[in-house]
Amino acid sequence: MAAGSLDELATWGAFTLDERFADKVIMPGLIEGHAHSMEGALWSFTYVGWFDRMDPDGKIWSGVKTVDDVVDRMSQIKKTMNDPNEPLLGWGLDPIYMDNVRVTRHDLDRVSATRPIGILHASGHILNVNTKGLELAGLLKPGQNHPGIPLGDDGLPNGELKSPEITMPAGKHVGMDRAFLAADAEGLRNYGRLCVRAGVTTSSDLGQQLNDDLVGLFETVTGQADYPVCLVAFCINLGKSPAELVDYTASLKDRSTQRLELGKIKVIADGSIQGFSARLQWPGYYNGAPNGLWYIAPDQMADIYQRALAAGVQVHTHTNGDEATQLAIETLEGALRKHPDFDHRFTLQHCQLASEAQFRKMGRLGMCVNLFANHHFYWGDEHFALTVGPERAERMNACRTALDQGVPMTIHSDAPVTPLGPLFTAGAAASRRTASGRVQGEHQRISVKEALYAVTMGAAITMKMDDQIGSIEIGKRADFAVLYDDPTEADPDTLKEVRVWGTVQGGRIFEAATI
Amino acid sequence: MKIPVTVIGGYLGAGKTTLINHMLRSANGLRLAILVNEFGDLAIDQDLIEAQNDGVMAISGGCVCCAYGNDMIGALEDMRDATPAFDHILIEASGVALPASIMTTVGMVYGLRPDATIVLADVEQIRKNARHKFLHDTILAQLEQADLLLLTKTDLVDASVVEDVKDWLSTVAPIARSLPIANGEIALEALIGAIPFAQRRPMENVTHKSVFDSIVITPDHNIDPQALGEAFANDPTITRAKGFVQTATGTALIHVVGSRYAFDLLDDHHSLGVVCIGIKGEFDPSNAEKHMRHAERTDA
C-alpha cells in the first residue's frame, strides 16, 4: 500500500507491526525475463551437470566431474525403477568442463544394456544414448552418413547424436516424448517453488504454444491460493498463422490475473550460438562453421509485427546472432512506418552479438533488450576459443553499450538452459567472469547497482509491467525478495553468494526452507 | 510396407498451396495425408473440406490435412498409425526450412520411408530471392537439396525466361531435375510416384493431358535393384520410376526420384512391374527398357 518510515506509515491509521524481517534485507521481488517453466518439469529426470544445482525440494545435486560419476548417478537412479523397459533420461551434461571427453554408448551401456538411456547436454544440442537407445531409434547399423551421427571405430554410431533433426526423433525412445515436452501442473508448481528459492516473484514463461486448454491449466495452477509467483506466459509463433497468433494473443489479455500475465507474443528468429544455428553477420563463426538457420521467414516476421502493432500486442523476438538482430530491427522499422507506436517496447531476447550500431538503432526505435548474461560464465571460454572469437566474445551481451545507448535492459538465465537465479545473473553481468576465471570484456561490465536494477525494474519495463512490479512503491504489488545479506554491499564476484530467505508475492509470504 | 513421405519445400509465394490443392483435387482415390505447419496460410479450397477439428482437416476422397505446429514427429506418427492406412504422406515445409533436415527426421521415424524432396521455385522470383540480403544462402540450400525442382508460374512469363531460369538452376542445383509447371498442375504420379497395377486407381490416368509420358516395364528375369536404380537415376530423361522387381533374394520395391534412388527388400510378394515417367519429348521408353535389360541377372 505504501512505503516509507514507520512514522510516515503510521499516519495511515491503525496498524500491526510485523518485525519478522527485521534482521533481513528486503528488496523488490526479482524478475526473470526469460525462462521456461520446463525447468520445473526437468527435475523428474536425472541431473548430471558439472555445477551443483538445487532442485525444487531444495536438495542440492552435486555436479558430476567424470564420466564414471555420470554412470554412477544414473545407475543409482536405475535401481529405483521397477519397469525394466522404462527409459532413463539424464540432463545437463557438459563435457566442455571435462576436457571435452567423448561420452559414448559404451559408457552408458555400463548403466544398462537393456534399458533405453539418454543424456541431454546442457547446451540442449547433443543427446547421448546407449546401445539400446540407438537400436530403438533404428540407428544401430553401419552406413550412417550424417554429420549429426558420429561413428565409432566399429563403423556403428558411437551414441552421440547432434542437431534437432536427429536428437528429436531419437529422443522419443529415451524419454523425451510428448509428455516430456508438454507443460503440466506439477511442473508449473515445481517451477513456482524454484522461483521462491531464487527470490523471484515474477517470471516469464517464454513461450508456450498457448491454446484454451493450456491457458486453462495456467489459470488453474496459478489460481491456487498458495501459488507463489506471477507467470508471464508468452504465446509462441509456432503452429499459428500471423493473423491467428495476434488475434488469439490479443484475446487473452483480459484473462490476466495477479499471478498470470497474458497477451504477449514470442517470435523465434534463429537458433543458438553454441549450437552454430544462430544467424551471424559477416565474418560468421570463428571456427568456420556455416551460417545458422532461420526459424521464421522475413515476410512472416513483418506480418506478425504489423498486426501486433496494429492490435497493441507486445512482441519479444529471440535473436541470438547479429544477423537475426538486424532482421528484427529492420523489420520493426518498416512495420512502425505503417503502424506508428510511441511505446511498443518490442524486445529482443538474447541479442547476444549486437553491435553498438544495432543498440543505437534499437534505442532510437524504442526497443528493449534482454541480454543473456549467464553466457559469460557458462560458455564464455567456449565463445572466446571456438564460436565467435576474442573480439566478439568480449562484447557479447553488451550490457554497458545497451544502457549507454538508452535501451531499457534486463538480463536472464533462460532456465533450464542455465539455472534460475537473478542474483547470479546480475553478478555475471557485473563481473563478466568466465568459468575459467577470466574477466571477458572489462569494458562491458556494469555496476552491481545497475545489475540489480536490471533484474527488477529492467525486467518489469521490458514486459510493460513496470506500473505493477519492479520496485517497492506505493500502488504497486507487494513483491519482495527477502535476503540474509545486503546485495548492495556485495561486489561483482560475491553477488551470487547473497543468500535468499524467500519471497513475498502479492503480500503473501513464502519461505524457501519450507516451500 | 513403409509409407512413403515427400517433403515439399520452397520460399513463401512459390506456389506450395496451389500445388497442395491440385494434389488433393486429383488424388482420385489415393489416400494422402498432408502435414502443414499451420492452417492459417494454407487456403484449402472450401469445396474440398469435409470437416475440421483439433488440427486435422478431413478432405473429400479420404485425404486429410494436419497442422503439426512444433510436433512434426508426433503428427507423422499419428498419420502412420491411422486406419485405413494412408498411401502417401506429404509434408509442407515452412518457407525457410531446409528440406533435407526434415527428410533426416522422417528417415528416423519407424514405418516411414523418405521418398522425394520437391522444392518449388517461382520462375519470376527465384533469382531475386537467391540474392536476398537475409535469405540467399537458405534459398540456395533449399534448391540444392531438391530431387525435383518445380518451376512454377511459368504461364506468366515468356518461354525464354523459363529457359534462362532452368539454365541457372542447373548451375546452382546440379543434382535436381527441373520441371516447369503452370497453374500448379502436374501429374500426381510425377510427384509421388506411381505403383503399377494400383490398388484403387487405374493406370491410364498417369499421363493423359499432362506433359509426361510413361511406360510400365515388367521384367522377365531377376534384377539387380542397385544396378537398375543407378541406371534410372543417371538417366536425365527419367523423372520418376517406381515398382516391384524380383531379385535373387526376394521382391524389392525400387523408387527413383530425379537423380536419387533407393530400394527396399520386402518379405511379401507383389505383382512385378516398374513405372517410368519422364517429360514428353525427352522421355524415350526404349531407353528405360534398355536399363532394365542391363540390370537383369540371369545367373542368380
Residue A60 burial (C-beta neighbours within 10 Å; 0-12, 13-18, 19+): exposed
Residue A160 has what DSSP assignment? E
Which residues of chain A does B38 touch, with a Cβ-Cβ cutoff of 8 Å?
Answer: 239-241, 244
**What one-letter code names the amino acid at A361?**
K
Report the candidate in B156, B188, B187, B181 with the shortest Cα–Cα distance to residue B166: B181
Cβ of A296 under 8 Å from any chain B Cβ?
Answer: yes
How much of chain B exceeds pLDDT 70, in percent?
A: 93
Q: Is the pLDDT of residue A18 over 70?
A: yes
d(CA B198, CA B29): 10
Rounded Cα distance between A374 and A411, Å, is 8
Instruction: Measure the CA–CA gap between A427 and A492, rounded to whole angstroms.
Output: 5
Q: Which residue has the cell 504422406?
A: B89
> Taking residues A454-483, what's their average pLDDT?
97
Scanning every residue of chain A, which has its alpha carbon at the shortest distance from the alpha carbon of B111?
A138
**Interface contact B74-A178, CB threshold 8 A:** yes
> Considering CB atoms only, which of A166, A239, A323 is closest to B70?
A239
Residue pair B92/B76 in contact by the 8 Å Cβ criterion: no
User: What pLDDT does residue B118 have?
Assistant: 95
CATH for B193-294 (3.10.310.30, 3.40.50.720, 3.30.1220.10, 3.30.420.40): 3.30.1220.10
Cell readout for A103 is 561420452
Which residues are CB-neighbours of B133 under 8 A, at least 6 positions away? none
Q: Mean pLDDT for chain A? A: 96
What φ, ψ does residue B248 adopt, rounded to 5°? -60, -25
Q: How many CB atoms lie within 10 A of CB A138?
A: 14
Task: Give me the helices (H) in A211-289, please.
Answer: 212-223, 242-252
pLDDT score, position A74: 97
How many angstroms separate the CA atoms of A343 and B169, rounded? Answer: 46
What's the rounded Cα separation, in Å, for the pair A317 and A303?
14
Residue B41: the pLDDT is 64
| B176's grid cell | 535436381
Candidates B108, B129, B142, partner chain A, best to mutate (most A CBs within 10 A):
B108
Q: Does residue B43 sit at the A interface (CB-CB below 8 Å)? A: no
- Using the beta-carbon criterion (under 8 Å), do A166 and B105 form an inter-chain contact? yes
Neighbours of B119 (CB within 10 A): 27
With an 8 Å Cβ cutoff, is B248 touching chain A?
Answer: no
Look at A256-265, A302-311, A400-409, B104-113 and tell me which has the smallest mean pLDDT: B104-113
- Which residue type occupies A169? P
B170-194 per-position pLDDT tens digit: 999 998 988 888 777 788 888 888 7
Distance between CA atoms of residues A55 and A190, nearest Å: 9
Mean pLDDT of A268-272: 95
CB-CB contact of B255 with B242 (8 Å): yes
The span from the CA of A133 to the CA of A174, in Å, is: 6
How far, in Å, CA of B132 to CA of B112, rounded?
Answer: 35
Q: A237, A269 in Cβ contact below 8 A? A: no
CA A295-A296-A299 angle, to 5 degrees, is 160
* Amino acid in position B181: I
Q: What would the mean pLDDT of A31-46 be, rounded to a whole number?
A: 94
Q: Is the pLDDT of residue B291 over 60?
A: yes
For residue A442, the tally of other CB atoms under 10 A from its CB is: 9
Do A287 and A367 meet the contact criterion of CB atoms below 8 Å apart? no
**Residue B214 falls in which region: left (phi positive, over 0), alpha (psi -120 to 50) or beta:** beta
Distance CA B274, CA B195 (A): 7
Q: Which of B148, B211, B150, B210 is nearest to B180 (CA)?
A: B150
Do the beta carbons of residue A293 and residue A270 sit within 8 Å? yes
Domain boundaries, chain B: 3-186, 193-294
Using the Cβ of A243 and the Cβ atoms of chain B, whether some distance falls under 8 Å is answered with yes
Weakest mean pLDDT among A156-170, A455-469, B131-145, B201-215: B201-215
Query: A507: how many CB neighbours lie within 10 A of its CB?
Result: 11
Give A43-96 pLDDT, tens digit per residue: 999 999 999 999 999 999 999 999 999 999 999 999 999 999 999 999 999 988
> What does the pLDDT read at residue A140?
93
Contact B69 A238 (CB under 8 A): yes
pLDDT band at B299 (very low <50, low <70, confident <90, very high): low
Q: Is A210 exposed, middle or buried (0-12, 13-18, 19+ CB in 10 A)?
A: buried
Answer whether A163's CB lies under 8 Å from A148's CB.
yes
Write out the DSSP string of A93-149. E-GGGGTTPPP-HHHHHTT-SSS-EEEEETTSSEEEE-HHHHHHTT--SS----TTS
Q: Nearest Cα to B212, choosing from B247, B238, B173?
A: B238
Return d(Cα A72, Cα A65) in angstroms, integer. 11
pTM of the shown model: 0.92
List the single residue in A138, A238, A240 with the smallest CB-CB distance to B108.
Answer: A138
Assign 3-class secondary structure to B55-89: CEEEECCCEEEEECCCCHHHHHHHHHHCCCCCCEE
Q: Which of B127, B61, B57 is nearest to B92 (CA)?
A: B57
Q: Average of pLDDT values for A208-237?
A: 96
CATH architecture label of B3-186? 3-Layer(aba) Sandwich (3.40)
What residues form DSSP beta bridges with B276?
B215, B241
C-alpha cell at B266: 520386402
Using a CB-CB cut-off of 8 Å, the residues of chain A touching B109 are 169
What is the 8-class DSSP label of residue A457?
I
Digit-coded pLDDT (tens) for B195-239: 665 444 444 444 455 678 889 999 889 999 999 999 999 999 999
List the grid coordinates of A320. Answer: 541470438
Which grid coordinates are listed for A125?
Answer: 544440442
Number of other CB atoms surrounding residue B125 within 10 Å: 17
User: What is the enclosing helix (H) or strand (E) of B246?
Assistant: strand B240-247
> Is B156's pLDDT higher than 60?
yes
The three cell numbers of residue B150 are 518445380
Beta bridge partners of A236: A266
Q: Is the Cβ pair B134, A323 closer than 8 Å?
A: yes
A209 and chain B in contact, CB less than 8 A? yes
Mean pLDDT, all residues of chain B: 88
Q: Give contacts of A209 with chain B, Cβ < 8 Å.
A: 69-70
Q: B105 and chain A: CB distance < 8 Å anywhere?
A: yes
What whole-number percentage of chain A has pLDDT above 70?
100
Separation CA B116–CA B259 (nearest Å): 11
Tell me whether B51 touches chain A (CB under 8 Å).
no
pLDDT for residue B222: 93
Q: What is the pLDDT of residues A387-446, one digit of tens each?
A: 999 999 999 999 999 999 999 999 999 999 999 999 999 999 999 999 999 999 999 999
| Residues on chain B touching A300 (C-beta within 8 angstroms) | 12, 95
Minimum-distance CB partner of B95 among A172, A243, A297: A297
Answer whether B40 sits within 8 Å of A241, measured CB to CB. yes
Q: A253: helix, coil or strand?
A: helix
Q: How far is CA A459 from CA A145, A256, A387, A412, B120, in A?
A: 45, 18, 28, 9, 43
